[in-house]
Structure 1
Amino acid sequence: MLGLAVQTLRARWAGLAGVLVALALGVCLLTVTGLAIAATIGRHRAPVWFSGAALVAVPPDTVTVRFGSGDGAFDATNTAGERPPIPAEAVTRLSALPGAVVDRRIPVMIGDSPADVHPWASTTLHPASLTAGRPPAAEGEAVVTVASGQQVGDLLEVRTAGATATWKVTGVVTGPAAVYVTDASAVALAGGRVDAVAFRDGGAAEAVRRSGLESLTGDRRALAEPDPDRDALTDTIALLGTFSGLAVLVSIFVVAGTFAFAVSQRRREMALLRAAGATPRQVRRLVLGEAAIVAVVAAAAGSALGIVAAPWCGGWLIGHGLAPAGFDVAFNGWAVLCSAGAGLVIAMIGTWAAARRAGKVRPIEALREAALDRRVMTVPRWIFGLLLTGGAIATVAAGGSVAGEDGIALTFFSSYLALIAVVLFAPLLAPLLIRALTGPIPGVTVQIARSNALTAVRRTASTVAPVLLTVGLAATLLSATTTAQRAEQSAARTRITASSLVSAIDPVGVPVPAVDTLSRVPGVTAAVPVRSRSAFMPTGDSVELITAEYVGAGIEQVWQLPPEVRDLRTPGTVVISADLARARNWHVGDEIQLWQADTTPLRPRVVAVLPPALDLGLTVLLPYPSAASPAGPSAVGADAVYLAGAGDPGLIAAAAGPAGQVATPDAYFAGQAAEANRMNNLAMVALLGLTLLYTAIAIANTLVMSTADRARDIAVLRLGGATPRQVLTVIAAETGTVVTLGVLLAAAVTAAMLAGLRSRLAELVTTAEIAAPWAVIAAVTGVCVLVAFAASLIPAALLLRTPPTALAALRE
């Protein structure tokens, strides 16, 4: 049947051009994302700082919890990305071994630039040699690297989270960027913290193991070095994974819809094959063969295009802040082969249902004259449509009993189930709604358009589906995301009762001395430091990432919190969110297990439970001194310092110094919201742009196929006396009716989702307002309308150039 498939493709290539484009685009996107993901996962980092060491001893950077007991016990692990300090007793043991070098890393600001300070002994861990001057010999002396551009005798304005100072450059060395001070100065700056113990030979491995530390050798030594791109690459992988999943799903949708429509148009052709002796299996193989040929061509074209587009995509991600500066997308043969193979699989999956339907065509249907669609609601449509409808209803019902962010997530999910269910029921809903829409409108043109749409229900549903999905996804996704984001920002702003605040402008944060100075500004009654970090907690069978807000004493004076929060000043205490209390069944007085961002364990006692809040779903409040453990007391600054009272803005700015920026709460949250909205909008625009592109292909392909197949209908209208303009008006009226139907169905699903979302938000915020980017939604709708009219009117106009008698004589 492969030879016959080639012949049928030659005759019907225009109808399958949309499938070819959709598959090629899908393979292109899969190739781009595959190459990008391969670049992140297969990223090779050779050690730089520890390149001269044979072995590096560091604490584990994972949190592991054992669940269950006996044979059913299992371990759950989560990677923290930070490491705790090496215990003092381990440092004492290991530093006494031959060839041991104790390394400490202290983040500082030198002028406006971040830098890392290390002890002078660390120069033995990598190639480094003095090019000028001498090593540091006293406090206040420092050696810089050649790349800094500093010279011997220069003065460095240094700011740590504990103090500000002026250091004198005594030497310049080669090697990786760093600032070196005396070993004693490094101990004081780090607060005694030791980050790693390195050895020039590997003979200390057993001693390291007995100390409970990891032994890193070879390229794994790079794991002990800071990786500023790690978090950004994680976000990049998540975004690219979303692109890949969407490309696969929409490709299957376009292929399935196009082949289903093509088979419905060719029922008499399939029936003739059956009447000529073809078995159902041979007919199925014919359809699958056509799909395979198209898929091979599309896979080749898409792979080639993806290889060319991948570097541009990497540059776009870097330019818009969605990937780190060092993100390099290079060629990877396995990624290209997997993407091409995925294109073939997508084509087969999308075509399978249409091939099965083609195999069920009876030979007697070759004698059917009418083009009326019968049995447009197939058994699979009924089954999956009812399942999805039931799932949407059950999700809404379950969401009513689930509070907080989980209830909001269920509302989102129910809208997506409802959208797909409406798409499946489109052949059933379309006739009813078309009659309701066009019934009150008089005129022959509308009557003909209505009759055409009702007669070809399958064609109508095939056109409604992509419009419904695109407008529905755009409206639900954008409006829900924007509404929830605004509500969360509003909840965070409403909580703040501070008159002003000082926000950090660099990674070091607002220094401890600045906090003390701010508290003494005339008119300021409280200066409360706050630092946000990650934390970990055990759930039923995993280790979950949560947010830990480290807050200073007096937080109840600058945040709207329950009075019991005053007890948080005691070390070993914690305040938990309502969502955590409900999920874990925690109560005031319970002792809970937590791990800080650097895996340091805590067992604090719950002193208060926060009221339900949208922005504090999985959040705990810990006393501010606890934030000192990840980097030592002098190395942790505040993200922000909230001020109570009416202090003079000029005096507050002077007290904050160069490390902080003074702002009102309104201005501070407006800036945060602007950046969050910018990143969110970039991701949404990219995702919606991809969806819109596929929708244009689906709409155009369906309408081009249907218009080209209606040559005889157009001929009948022309022979009956209709002018070309009147024929185009009929086609435009039918197209407008179908597109309007898709938009109205999308609007109905969106309205239901927003009503449920507003109900959920009303439980968590004072004022739940719907915030939807109507201009963007209108633009998406407009593109769908333009594509639909262009794809129906342009082929019709071309057909009208042919004389009516010639059109009537065209074969199917």
Structure 2
Amino acid sequence: MTGLVWHIVRARMSSLLGTFLALALGVALLAAMTLTLVSTVGGSGRAPRWYTAPDVVVAGAGKVSITSGSGEDRETSSTRTIRTRALPAGLADRLQAALGGEAAVVVDVAGYAAADGAPGDTVHPWSAAALHPYSWVAGGAPRAAGDVVLSAPTGHRPGDRVTVATAHGTRVFTVSGVLRTDAPGAFYATDPVAMELADGRVTAVALAVRPATTGAGTSTSTGGAAGDPARPRDAAALAAAARAVIHDARADDGSVRVLTGNSRRAGEPDPDGERRTVAIALLGTTTGLGGFVSVFVVAGTFAYAVAARRREFGLLRAAGATPRQVFRLVLGEALAVGLLASLSGVLLGTLLAPAFAEVLVRTGFAPSDFTAHFVFWAVTPAFGTGLLVALGGAWAAAWRAGRIRPVEALREAAVDRRAMTVGRTVIGLLAFGGSVPLIAVLMVSPSASAVALIIVAAMLLIVGFALFAPLIIPPLAWLLTAPLAASPGAVGLLARHGARGAVRRTAATAAPILVTLGIAGATLTGFGTLQAATDSAARDQITADALVVPAVGAGLPDAAVQALRAVPGVRAAVPVGDASVYVRDDEDLEPWAARYATGADLAGMLDIPVTAGRLADLTGTDTVAVPAGSRWKLGERAELWLADSTPARPRVVAVLDRRLDLDETFLLPAALRTGHEPALATVVYLRLTPEAARSAADRAGVAAAVATATGGVGKTVGTDEYLSAANAEQARANRQASVVVLGMALVYTAIAIANTLVMATRDRTREFATVRLAGATRRQVLAVVGTEAVVVTGVGAALAAAVTGITAWGAQYGLADLAPSVPIVIPWGPLGAIAATCLAIALLASVIPASLLLRRDPADLAAVQE
């Protein structure tokens, strides 16, 4: 049997090529996704970039750990937070006093600082520049309090005056030098200035072992001084000494970490932490989508390839082959093709992964230094999945092939008499049934995160429609080809009967179009509808007369807010700062959005309805207003962790009503932010005096005064301008997310469309010969093929429209209670372009191979062996 399998594989190499390509490309897609995901997740295990010189780094806690279960079933899960906790007051001095004589000690701080034309938004002491390699581009070190060193690339040069936004307001510095380093870009100021701008908040203490002297002018690289056995001789001894100091300071409660080796990276500034988290989430979705698309396409391709060989299997049965032998033959072919294709796919995916990682960097979802690299264990699932899909996709088809009767050898027509099977019906019903609870969840418990269920629901609907295609296609094709019935000539008639009669062929060729347009339509429409609903909710919420947003940097400092309150025409200025908190969700920690504000000040600025309690009670440092979706009630203690991993147990003073713009968002008192994050306002809401709000000229005067009062770091915008800018940014993020999530999957399905149609066209050799011998011209046959390609595209597009319509309706229905209006936003431009591309591919992949076949004489064509 093995020899027969390899003989058939060699003999049918050209016909198996389509199956091989579908599987190889599917495995390549999955391998590229998994490699990129593993590379992103594994970034924290790389060598440090900032703390490369020190042997030991003492840093504050930078992760949250929770333990679930009991006894032997206890499990601990950890999540790295956006920021690291500051070291306890006085600990840096203790470490310096205890170890300064035996080790090089550098106290590092990270204050907020931002300026136009300069990368980064943190300022470090100049002494911290020695913690990592650097080279000078121009200039030199800062010597005076007004000097600053910038990291390249920057548009500034030594001698330039730069206005820097800090947490204490704006300050003007003189650029003393520009350096280049592989560490994250930052400002460097003199040590006292950096400490002042960081409010004395020590980020880390870096320790390096000093070479021990053995005599005058000599030193050794390994040992301590003679007669000084307590002297730290290596990183391990230095770390032990640091832990002893921490223990004596009673700071060994988990809030301080002693880091060595590659773990030093965990204590570094991580300006790309949020982007890395987003990238991991997106890549998880992309990998799941890529796996679904590849399995869907490959399984359909295998099934069609086996079904197209019905006559061949009938001949084998007539020659005496048993059903078991035919079954084993088909599975043997699938195993041979699966092994070769999976191996080829893994190699191709390994080559594609770095290019995909570069796309992530260009679109801003990954840090600039991110790249995908080969990890053996990460590609083994892709290889195994390819092999399993090959065998699984061929299993059912092989079982049906074994049941083919010898009389099937006499059948020449491609008309399907029984395309629907019991198994196909059951699995199709399960797929449709599985989509119902997902859409129900979106309708009953809607949220911004729940919209992600659209993709999963769309996958199940696509599977359901694909499996029920033999029942749906005949009436749908009849409807779509109705205009052809009235057209003169035989072309329209043949195309109409071909699409309706060869149901399995039409279903197989329409399936890649269905998955391409279905996934794209559901995803893009879901994103667009969510964005429109969010905009509607935000417009309904903001009642302020004007808003002030940062013109430079990430926020407005308290000094700028105080200056705003003194601007003529401004009656009230209420700052609101965006942040994140971590909430326990059973056995995991989930990041939730948070806003820092004083509850009493929000009245008249934002319309925030509550179902219990009062926002006016949101004061001090021990209160919180929780969203309706949280599990806490009024008066209870919420269990939260702040962005720097500090635990907080504030009392619930208000429960927010369900609103899309406040979905999964906590309101925290502004005072709680002190010491944990820079006191920066993301937006400041203004209430103007009646005189200032009276005319556009008066508003322009207020805007000019605001720019002057804030030192140019703030600008006044209206509600429409603010939301339009936010929408534009969200639309850009959605487009980039769509490129990441859909990009490679759509490229793969486009290739799959061409591959399936080439296979289907090549298998119609005898049909073309029969039509030509009956008197049809070559042009007429090509017209029939082209018309059928248009019909197939129409069938796939119609089914995809049904998938998009069902998911969009579910999203609109569910979001209706969270926003004043929820229009369904269909991105006709991108979807039209994708549909046109599918049509063009279908036409080319059908007409070109048919044209090549029809070059031969009809009699020779009829004699071609299958």
The bucket for the TM-score relative to the shorter chain is: 0.7 to 0.9
Distance in 2 between residues matched to 1:549 and 1:573, nearest whole Å: 13
Maintained 8 Å contact 2:22/2:755: no
Give 1:782 shift: 1.9
1:211 aligns with 2:251: yes
In structure 2, the residue matched to 1:235 is 278
Residue 605 of structure 1 is matched in structure 2 by 651
| Residue 709 of structure 1 pairs with residue 714 of structure 2 | no
The aligned residue for residue 575 of structure 2 is 529
Question: Secondary structure at 2:711's aligned position in 1?
Answer: helix
Aligned CA distance change for structure 1 residues 406 and 57 (closer, same or farther; 3 Å): closer
Structure 1 residue 548: Cα displacement: 0.9
Counterpart in the other structure of 1:4: 4
Q: In 2, are the aligned partners of 1:568 and 1:623 still within 8 Å (CA)?
A: yes
> Is the 1:161–1:508 contact (alpha carbons within 8 Å) kept by the matching residues of 2?
no
Contact 1:530–1:551 (8 Å) recurs in 2: yes
Instruction: Compare 219-228 and 343-352 and name the one that shifted more.
Output: 343-352
Deviation at 1:384?
Answer: 1.0
Q: 1:758 matched to which residue of 2?
A: 812
Q: Flag the 1:178–1:402 CA change in 2: closer, same or farther, 3 A.
A: closer
Provide the C-alpha distance between the structure 2 equivalents of 1:335 and 1:487, rounded to a whole number of angstroms: 39
Q: Is the 8 A contact 1:208 1:214 kept in 2?
A: no
Aligned-CA RMSD value: 3.7
Aligned partner of 1:464 among 505, 510, 513: 510
Q: Is 1:323 aligned to residue 366 of structure 2?
A: yes
- Tell me what 2:215 maps to: none
Displacement of 1:155: 7.0
Secondary structure of the 1:671 match is helix
- Structure 1 pair 155–741 and aligned structure 2 pair: CA distance change class (3 A): closer
Match of 2:201 in 1: 193
TM-aligned CA deviation for residue 467 of structure 1? 2.2
Out of 25-34 and 163-172, give the one that drifted further. 163-172
Amino acid in structure 2 at the alignment position of 1:758: Q
2:429 is the alignment partner of 1:428:
no
What is the Cα deviation at residue 371 of structure 1? Answer: 4.7
The 1:333/1:538 distance shift into structure 2, 3 A limit, reads closer
- More displaced, 361-370 or 147-156? 147-156
Shift of 1:404: 3.9
Equivalent residue runs for 1:298-697 within 5 Å:
298-299=341-342, 301-302=344-345, 305-306=348-349, 308-329=351-372, 343-363=386-406, 365-366=408-409, 371-405=414-448, 408-409=451-452, 413-438=456-481, 441-442=485-486, 445-507=491-553, 509-552=555-598, 554-562=601-609, 564-580=614-630, 584=631, 586-631=632-677, 635-645=678-688, 646=693, 648-685=702-739, 687-697=741-751
When normalised by structure 2's length, the TM-score is: 0.83
What is the one-letter code of the residue matched to 1:261?
Y
| 1:309-356: CA deviation from partner (whole Å, max 9, x where unpaired) | 555444443333333222244566666677556544543443333333
Query: Secondary structure, in 3 states, of the residue corresponding to 2:549?
Result: strand
- Residue 110 (structure 2) pairs with residue 105 (structure 1): yes
Structure 1 equivalent of residue 188 of structure 2: 179
Which residue identity is paired with 1:423? A
Letter in 1 for 2:432: T
Is the CA contact (8 Å cut-off) linking 1:573 and 1:605 kept in structure 2?
A: yes
| Greater Cα shift, 413-422 or 32-41 | 32-41
Indicate how the Cα distance of structure 1 residues 433 and 412 shifts in structure 2: closer, same or farther if over 3 A, else same: same
In structure 2, C-alpha distance between the alignment counterparts of 1:744 and 1:205, rounded to whole Å: 67
Q: Tell me the residue number matched to 2:167.
A: 161
Of 545-554 and 699-708, deviating more is: 699-708
Q: In 1, distance between residues paired with 2:135 and 2:743?
A: 53
| Structure 1 unaligned spans of 5+ | none
Asked if residue 787 in structure 1 is aligned to residue 795 in structure 2, the reply is no
One-letter code of the match for 1:77?
Answer: S
- 1:2-81, aligned counterparts within 5 Å? 2-37=2-37, 39-43=39-43, 45-47=46-48, 49-67=50-68, 74-81=75-82
State the SS of the aligned residue for 1:521. coil
Measure the CA separation in 1 of the matches of 2:730 and 2:469.
37
Amino acid at match of 1:17: L
What fraction of aligned residue pairs are identical, expressed as a percent?
A: 43
Conservation of the 8 A alpha-carbon contact between 2:605 and 2:686:
yes
**Secondary structure, counterpart of 2:498 in structure 1:** helix
Amino acid at match of 2:56: L
Three-state SS of the structure 1 residue aligned to 2:705 is helix
Comparing 723-732 and 743-752, the one that deviates more: 723-732
Whether the 8 Å CA contact 1:84–1:630 is kept in 2: the answer is yes
Q: Which residue of 2 aligns with 1:84?
A: 85
Q: Distance in 2 between matches of 1:301 and 1:307?
A: 10
CA distance in structure 1 between the aligned counterparts of 2:355 and 2:85, rounded to whole angstroms: 39
Q: 1:3 to 1:507 in 2, by over 3 A?
A: farther
Whole-angstrom CA distance in 2 between matches of 1:541 and 1:730: 59
Could you tell me how far apart the structure 1 residues matched to 2:647 and 2:110 are? 22
The 1:755/1:158 distance shift into structure 2, 3 A limit, reads: closer
Deviation at 1:426, TM superposition (A): 0.5
SS at match of 1:81: coil
Change (3 A) 1:151 1:485: closer
Amino acid aligned to 1:806: D
Partner-residue secondary structure (3-state), 2:579: strand
2:333 corresponds to:
290
Counterparts in 2 of 1:761-780, with a 5 A limit?
Answer: 761-780=815-834
Q: For 1:168 and 1:644, locate their aligned partners in 2 and report how far apart those are by CA, in whole Å.
A: 37
1:729 and 1:807 mapped to 2: Cα distance? 19
> Which residue matches 2:225?
none
Q: Give the partner amino acid of 2:265.
A: A
User: Quick one: which of 779, 789, 799 aligns to 1:745?
Assistant: 799
Q: Quick check: which one's helix share is greater? A: 1
Structure 2 unaligned residues grouped into runs of 5+: 209-237, 694-698
Q: Per-residue displacement from partner, 1:89-123 (whole Å, max 9, x unpaired)? A: 65565454232654332232467534644457757
Q: Taking structure 1 as reference, are residues 522 and 80 closer, same or farther at Cα in structure 2, changes over 3 Å only?
A: same
Moved more, 387-396 or 308-317: 308-317
8 A Cα contact 2:454 2:522, kept in partner: no
- Aligned-pair distance for 1:517? 0.8
Alpha-carbon deviation of 1:55?
Answer: 2.5
Distance 2:567 2:84 in 1: 37
Q: Kindly tell me: are residues 105 and 6 of structure 1, through their superposed partners in 2, closer, same or farther at Cα, counting changes over 3 Å?
A: same
Q: 3-state SS of the aligned residue for 2:825?
A: coil
Contact 2:282 2:740 in 1 (8 A): no
Mean Cα displacement is larger for which, 225-234 or 642-651?
225-234
C-alpha offsets along residues 137-190 of structure 1, whole Å, 9 cap, x if unaligned? Answer: x9x36575897999999877554211344567899999986534355x555433
Deviates more, 1:320-329 or 1:149-158: 149-158
Kindly state the Cα deviation for residue 576 of structure 1 after the two structures are TM-superposed: 1.8
Q: Which moved more, 1:694-703 or 1:753-762?
A: 694-703
Post-superposition offset of 1:546: 0.6
In structure 2, the CA distance between the partners of 1:217 and 1:340, relative to structure 1 (3 Å rule), is same
- Aligned partner of residue 168 in structure 2, secondary structure: coil
Structure 2 CA distance for partners of 1:122 and 1:783, relative to 1, 3 Å? closer
Name the aligned partner's letter for residue 291 of structure 2.
V
TM-score (norm 1): 0.88
Cα distance change on mapping 1:329 and 1:386 into 2, 3 Å? closer
Distance 1:590 1:335, change over 3 A: closer
